[in-house]
Amino acid sequence: MLKVLNISPSDLSLSSSLLLIFVVDNIGHAPISTNIQSINDVYKFLLKPFLFLLSPEKAHYFTLFMLRLTLSIPGLSALFRAQYRVQDPRLRRKVLGLTFENPVGLAAGFDKDGKYFRDMASLGFGFIELGTVTPKGQVGNPQPRLFRLPADEALINRMGFNNEGVEALVSRLQTQRPEGLIIGGNIGKNKVTPNESATDDYVACFEALFPHVDYFVVNVSSPNTPNLRALQDKGPLTQLLSTLQDLNHQKSAPKPILLKIAPDLTDGQLDDILEIVQETKIAGIIATNTTISRADLRESPQRIEAIGNGGLSGQPVKQRSTEVIRYLSKRSNGKFTIIGVGGIQTAADAIEKLEAGADLVQIYTGLIYEGPALVKNINKAILQKRN
């Protein structure tokens, strides 16, 4: 395991400290320092500084390794659930013909291969989106391919759909899943597949995953697979979604298909998307993926230049993502489901997206900067808002 994660002995000593923090934190003992009073603080002042010493990609796998190790200690899984899950029927959402225990989900890309969704479910998510997965496994772009922009509370990634392939994901979805957890399958195409044959890749993933997920997301908005975003154009997109919908309607119980879009689309392109949704009758839209824009960043232009290509996520994408949600919601009169994602770092950010017209929200970068208590904080704030 350690070899796979490329973890050194020094990382291991770090791991024991982290494990201790996780345990102490979750048992709810006395504060570790006088300034540290909540689980938010434990993450921000103790865990995050440790994790930010590692490269972002290493920190990602290391955190997941730590989480799994912690949850394997008898009793801690239940403690985690008690600590992080907010269980209240008022959080329940009936969306897409499914019942979500709460409206906060884990965004695609965090657990591409379905290795950690059981562990992540302990953090209180109402749903988890796996993928993006492609028909064949692929290594993705060369490392480094994930970068932190702390001054902007943002990330730039050009992972390039690194994943083990759809069959590996299917094999991990065979066993029982955590009770009540909704699972989405986010599907894409292999890098080597030309756009003209892209539909075949999406169909292969759709068919393989059909018995194992609750909803599908067609990802044509990642900036890290050459030309992928050209599939957002009206012609190819209508063809792709119609093909998937035709197959879907041949099933005895069709599943909701959503489209994930980029925040960089113009209003005219969004109007095209609205027409396509109406024509193909897909269930909804996920707004949004990462942006290729680099506008208004605090990080120095030199560093941004040195990082190079990739999708920007976190705080800088927040406003545009909310604008897209608002635009789609107004124009569609709430006729289809919108899942809002992009720059949610606080409970207020999530509520803003829900008020702009999102039915559900997802987080990724906020988890890195704010820690896992973000899920609970959002759910609590939603409940408070209702009172």
Ligand X SMILES: Cc1cc2nc3c(=O)[nH]c(=O)nc-3n(C[C@H](O)[C@H](O)[C@H](O)COP(=O)(O)O)c2cc1C
Whether 252 is catalytic is no
Using rule CB under 6 A, residue 109 touches ligand X: yes
- Cα separation of 101 and 376, whole Å? 13
- Cα separation of 348 and 384, whole Å? 12
Cα angle 201, 364, 160; round to 5: 35
CA distances in angstroms from 130 to 106, 113, 290, listed in the order given: 9, 7, 17
Shortest distance, CB of residue 221 to ligand X, whole angstroms?
7
The only residue of 141, 232, 313, 322 in contact with ligand X, by rule CB under 6 A? 313
- Least Cα distance to 201 among 137, 139, 287, 114 occurs for 137
Shortest distance, CB of residue 289 to ligand X, whole angstroms?
5
Which residues are 216's β-sheet partners?
185, 257
**In the bound complex, which residue of the shown chain has the CB atom lying closest to ligand X?**
109
- Cα separation of 145 and 136, whole Å? 21
# of chain residues touching ligand X (CB under 6 A): 27
Using rule CB under 6 A, residue 186 touches ligand X: yes
Using rule CB under 6 A, residue 108 touches ligand X: yes
Rg of the chain, C-alpha, whole Å: 20
Given the rule CB under 6 A, which of 12-20, 32-40, 78-86, 358-366 is the region that contacts ligand X? 358-366
From the list 222, 313, 321, 332, the catalytic residue is 222
Given the rule CB under 6 A, which of 16-24, 229-237, 347-355, 357-365 is the region that contacts ligand X? 357-365
CA distances in angstroms from 295 to 167, 291, 315, listed in the order given: 39, 10, 12
- Helix (H) or strand (E) run with residue 377 in it: helix 373-386
- Cα separation of 322 and 341, whole Å? 8
The only residue of 58, 85, 93, 112 in contact with ligand X, by rule CB under 6 A? 112
The only residue of 260, 320, 353, 376 in contact with ligand X, by rule CB under 6 A? 260
Using rule CB under 6 A, residue 344 touches ligand X: yes
Using rule CB under 6 A, residue 364 touches ligand X: yes
Please, which of residues 120-149 interact with ligand X by CB under 6 A?
132, 146
Using rule CB under 6 A, residue 289 touches ligand X: yes
Residues classed as catalytic:
222
Question: Which residues contact ligand X by CB under 6 A?
Answer: 107-109, 112, 132, 146, 155, 157, 159, 161, 186, 219, 222, 260, 289-290, 313-314, 317, 341-344, 363-366
